[in-house]
Chain A
Amino acid sequence: QVQLVESGGGLVKPGGSLRLSCAASGFTFSDYYMSWIRQAPGKGLEWVSYISSSGSNKHYADSVKGRITISRDNAKNSLYLQMNSLRAEDTAVYYCARWGATMWAYFEYWGQGTLVTVSS
């Protein structure tokens, strides 16, 4: 069965950095686009970034552009999110999610999420 397991969240000071990971299993990882989606405490869902199956195409939400980098290692079945210059408003649960088949941009499978807290 499809499994997505995030890790790497934690408490970080404003201006700090963090690298999130998402380990994928149960499907051919290199065939699928992937995304990171976040949810601030008590708030709704916000798409953060996506990466194509090969890793050649990437896009970011305006709210994180220039501070966050998405990447993947298809040999390791892993997705990453490098987060720099973190702000209080980046505090959220971060989910990795697999797109639907044939590049349809809905989120068919989600991980359980990892909490990032930005606070001094």
Chain B
Amino acid sequence: EIVMTQSPATLSVSPGERATLSCRASQSVSSYLAWYQQKPGQAPRLLIYGASTRATGIPARFSGSGSGTEFTLTISSLQSEDFAVYYCQQYNNWPPLTFGGGTKVEIK
């Protein structure tokens, strides 16, 4: 099973600032990596797939990068609606499909 590790667990950022979230895989997942955003009381929403392709309707301030075992989600200028929990998920080697533990982006 591929273990996904996200860091930091919590990220405190001021509106308008840049946020950088990390996701590490225990073995290579090539570029088969997705990112999701989840707000309280809501279902997760797909942001990025293929490590760097934005899903339909996702603003350009969200960008993904990386391959192999190291990945990054960058939010270039945080808006109020971006404060949420973010999860990465690998889909290179399954089953099982595995998620990271999440990074909570909170208002500084």
Binding site for B on A (CB under 8 A): 35, 44-47, 50, 59-62, 95, 100, 104-113
Contacts and interface: CB of A to CB of B under 8 A. Distances in A.
A50 B94 CA distance: 11
Nearest to A60: B95
Given A107-B44, A111-B43, A47 B96 contact: yes
A96 to B, nearest CB: 10
Question: What secondary structure prevails in chain A residues at the interface with B?
Answer: strand
A44 B91 contact: no
Interface of B: 32, 34, 36, 38, 42-46, 49, 55, 87, 89, 91, 94-102
19 contacts: A35-B97, A44-B87, A45-B36, A47-B98, A47-B99, A59-B96, A95-B44, A100-B49, A104-B32, A104-B91, A105-B91, A106-B34, A106-B91, A107-B44, A107-B89, A108-B49, A110-B44, A112-B42, A113-B43
A47 B89 CA distance: 10
A44 B46 CA distance: 15
A47 B100 CA distance: 11
Contacts of A47: 95-99
Contacts of B98: 47
Contact of B43 (A59, A61, A100, A112): A112
Given A61-B95, A61-B96, A100-B49, A107 B36 contact: yes
Nearest to A99: B91
Contacts of A61: 95-96
Contact of B46 (A35, A106, A111): A106
Given A44-B87, A100-B49, A104-B49, A110 B96 contact: no
Nearest to B45: A110
